[in-house]
Amino acid sequence: MPRSFEGELRADGLRFAVIASRFNDEIVSGLLDGTLECLARHGATDDAIALYRVPGAFEIPTLAAKLVSDCDAVIALGCLIRGDTPHFDFISAQVTNELSRISVDTRVPVAFGVITCNTYEQAVERSSKGRGNKGWEAALAAIEMASLWRKLRTKES
């Protein structure tokens, strides 16, 4: 049987930076509510969560790069809705690539809660309270990955 490593869904003792864009704020507010509810339900205290607001999704990676050294995981929240120009494609690709690069380069989990939707209705569906809230899902991924990283660091010591 191979050795197995897995993070736990316990946020107590972990520090989180949550970066939420203000663009499409009515949608991002739902993602943020889901994120904060998930973190609290899994044991994160208010003083272990730092919330940062930025103008739009494009600004998230720059701040994430600055914050990774101060936390166990970053949770990025934003909403991009396809329009009539290629702007959506440029921004969504750049944000996705940069957040992934930051996580890999720094070895700090960056959870991706930036939703990319074709319609406003899809965005509402993914940010509404309850099952399927992508902010909740991003927080859950952040908790599990931060927990796993902590286990691996402890194992290496």
Q: Identify the active-site residue in 45, 55, 70, 87.
A: 87
Q: Is the dihedral of CA 63, 69, 77, 110 positive or negative?
A: positive
Contact present, 58 and 24 (Cβ < 8 Å)? no
DSSP string covering 109-128? -EEEEEEEESSHHHHHHHHS
Task: Tell me the one-letter amino acid at 96.
Answer: T
Contact present, 43 and 96 (Cβ < 8 Å)? no
Q: Does the active-site annotation cover 42?
A: no
Which residues lie closer than 8 Å to 44 by C-beta, 6 or more apart? Answer: 11, 12, 14, 16, 143
Taking the C-alpha atoms of residue 64 and residue 99, their distance in angstroms, rounded to an integer, is: 8
Which of 77, 76, 73 shows the shortest CA–CA distance to 147?
73
Q: What share of the chain is helix, strand, coil (3-state, %, to 5)?
A: 55, 20, 25
Indicate which residues carry an active-site annotation.
Answer: 87
